[in-house]
Structure 1
Amino acid sequence: DLGKAVDHILSGQSRKIDYGMAGRHFFLGSVGLGLIPNLAELIGHNTPRFGIGWSRKASLAAASVKVQQTSITIDEFKFDIAPLTININLLSYSLGLSLTPTSINNDGKAEIVFDIGQAKANLSGFIRKIFKKKYIYTDEIRMYRGQKIIISPTAERKLYLDGEIVKLKETTLKVETFPSKIRVYQKNAE
C-alpha cells in the first residue's frame, strides 16, 4: 500500500548503514570466498538447527574448497596467504551466522575474516563456535578492519554476495566501503 509506505518513511523509523562495492557488485551485508559460498550451496534452504549440524556442513564445505595462494591488501597492508575462507562483512551476519558480532554498521569500515591457511584452522569448529556465539579470533582465524580490500587472484572463483552466489570473471576483486550511508527503513513488530 503506497499510503502506508509513505507514512512509514515520514515516521522517521530508520537507521543509516554502510554499503560497499565488490568489483561491480553493490552489497549491504557481506561477501565471501571459499568456505562461505560452498557452505551456502551445501545448505541451500535447509539451515541446520544446532551447532553440530553447522559443524558437519562446514566440514564438508571446507573439504570442497580449492585452496590457492591469495594476495590480500587491506588499506595499505599487503600479505599473501592460502586460505580456506575469506569473508568481508559490513553487517555482523553472513549466511545467518554472526561472524563479526562487533561490527559497527555505520562506521565506513568492513571486517575481514580469514584463516591463515596451511591447514591450521579447524573451520568446522570455528563455525560451530560462531553459531553458539562463543568464538574469539586467534592466530589461526583472524579479523581485521579496513575500507579498501583487494584480493587476487579471483577469476573463476565463487563469491557469496549478500546471499547470492556469483561466479567471478575478474582476476582481482576490489572491495570498498564508502563514507556516505544508506538509509534503511525498519518496520516495528506489531
Structure 2
Amino acid sequence: MFVKKYNQNKRVKKYHFCLLVNKQATNYNERAIKKLIKSILNNGHHFTVLEPNSAFSLYDQAQSAAGLKRHRGVVLSQVKKWGNITALIACGGDGTFNLVARAGFKSNLPVAVLPMGKFNNICQSVYKTVDPDKIIKKILARKHQIITINAGEIADQMFFSSVGLGFIPKLQEILEEKKQPRFGFGWSQFGTKAATIKLSKKTILKVDSFKFETSPKMINVNLLPYSCGIPISNASLLDDGMCEIIFDVNVNTKKFGNYLSQIIKRKFVYGSDFRMYRGKSICIEPVEGYNLYLDGEIIEVPSDMIEITVLEKALKIFA
C-alpha cells in the first residue's frame, strides 16, 4: 500500500482544499462543513467551496477544480489568490464521492469525504466511522496519511466501492423507503423481500480466465467491504488490485434473510450457497433489462454484457 506520512520533524505541507458540497445529500450537515472550514483555516491551509446543483454540474466543477478543465468563476479567482487546488473533499454520499474521485483520479489529486449520504459505504470502508468530527481530525491531522484505494471501471463508468445486480439494487430500493433496521431480525425481513428478484435463468460469469454458468439472485463485485451500508465483503483490501465477486447458487428467499442477518452481525462465512471469488477482470452476461447498483446509485445496464476491470492505477485518499 502506498502511504505518505507527514511528521512533526518536517515542514507540514499546506493544502488548497476544494470542498464540493452536495446540499441535496440525504444527511446534509451544514455544521460539519463549517467545522471543516474552521479546521482548515486553523491548520494554515486554504479552501474553496463549490455548491453545484446537479450531478452533471458537480462533475464539471470537480474537473475544473482539479485542473482538467479551464478554471472559471470562483475556482479561477481562488486559484489566482491561493494557487492551484491540491486536494478535493466530497461533502455528500457515495454518489458525490464517486464524481469527485473521478476528477481526483484523473488529475492525481488526493481526495477525502465528509459523509452526508444515507449509507456512506466508502467512508465506512476507509475511515471505519461516519462521525464527521473524527473524519475532520483524520484529514487535517498534522501527521495525516494519504493512502491508495482500488479503482474499477464498468462500461466506461468508474467506481470505487462496488457494483451489483439483482439483490443489492433491490435492497437499496427497499432501504430508500425504510429506515435501516437496528437488529438482525429486521435485516432478515428485508433480505427475504429483496431476494424475490431473480436474474436470468442462465447467467454466464467469467472471473479472469475461469468461466461458468449459474442462476443467481445476486451478483455483487466489491473493491471495498461495504454495499448498501452492509459489510458484505470481508475479504476486500483497499489497494490489492483485486475485486471480490459474490453470488448465490440456487438459494431460496429464506436463506437470503439469514444471510443478511449474519452479515450484519459479521458472523457469515462464504461457502457453497453464497460464494466469493477474487479476480481482476469480471464478465457477466446476459444482463439486459436489469438495474445496476454503482457506488450507491442505481442506473440502467448499458448492454447485454458487462465487463468489470480493476484498474492498474489507484486513487489517492486521505486516511
Structure 1 length as normaliser, TM-score?
Answer: 0.89
Cα deviation, residue 97, structure 1: 0.9
SS of the equivalent of 1:134 reads coil
CA distance in 2, matches of 1:4, 1:143: 44
Letter in 1 for 2:147: R
Tell me: CA distance 1:86–1:66, structure 2 relative to 1, closer, same or farther (3 Å). Answer: closer
Query: Equivalent residues in 2 for 1:132-143 (5 A)?
Result: 132-143=265-276
Higher helix share: 2
Partner deviation per Cα, 1:28-84 (whole Å, 9 max, x = no partner): 000111100000001116212111111101111111335532000000000000101
CA distance in 2, matches of 1:96, 1:118: 22
Letter in 1 for 2:151: Y
SS of the equivalent of 1:122 reads helix
CA distance in 2, matches of 1:66, 1:85: 8
Larger radius of gyration between Structure 1 and Structure 2: 2
Structure 1: stretches of 5+ with no match in the other structure: none
In the alignment of these two chains, the number of paired residues is 186
Partner deviation per Cα, 1:133-171 (whole Å, 9 max, x = no partner): 000111011000000000001111111111111111301
RMSD over aligned CA atoms reads: 2.2
Higher strand share: 1
SS of the equivalent of 1:53 reads helix
Aligned position for 1:105 = 238
Letter in 2 for 1:150: C
Tell me: CA distance 1:12–1:179, structure 2 relative to 1, closer, same or farther (3 Å). Answer: farther
CA distance in 1, matches of 2:186, 2:259: 13
Pick from 162, 166, 173: which aligns with 1:30?
Answer: 162
Aligned position for 1:167 = 300
Aligned position for 1:52 = 185
Tell me: CA distance 1:177–1:67, structure 2 relative to 1, closer, same or farther (3 Å). Answer: same
Instruction: Compare relative contact order (CA 8 Å, sep 6+) and give the higher one, 1 or 2.
Output: 1
Cα deviation, residue 11, structure 1: 6.4
Tell me: CA distance 1:110–1:141, structure 2 relative to 1, closer, same or farther (3 Å). Answer: same
Tell me: CA distance 1:4–1:121, structure 2 relative to 1, closer, same or farther (3 Å). Answer: farther
Pick from 124, 128, 153: which aligns with 1:21?
Answer: 153
SS of the equivalent of 1:127 reads helix
Pick from 41, 60, 74: which aligns with 2:173?
Answer: 41
Letter in 1 for 2:169: P
SS of the equivalent of 1:135 reads coil
Query: Equivalent residues in 2 for 1:117-128 (5 A)?
Result: 117=250, 119=252, 122-128=255-261
CA distance in 2, matches of 1:100, 1:140: 15
Pick from 179, 182, 189: which aligns with 2:315?
Answer: 182
CA distance in 2, matches of 1:84, 1:47: 22
Cα deviation, residue 25, structure 1: 1.5
Aligned position for 2:107 = none
CA distance in 2, matches of 1:63, 1:136: 23
Percent identical: 33
Cα deviation, residue 179, structure 1: 2.0
| Cα contact 1:120–1:140 (8 A) shared by 2 | no
Aligned position for 1:158 = 291
Pick from 75, 87, 92: which aligns with 2:220?
Answer: 87
State yes or no: 1:74 paired with 2:224: no
Letter in 2 for 1:56: Q
| Cα contact 1:82–1:118 (8 A) shared by 2 | no
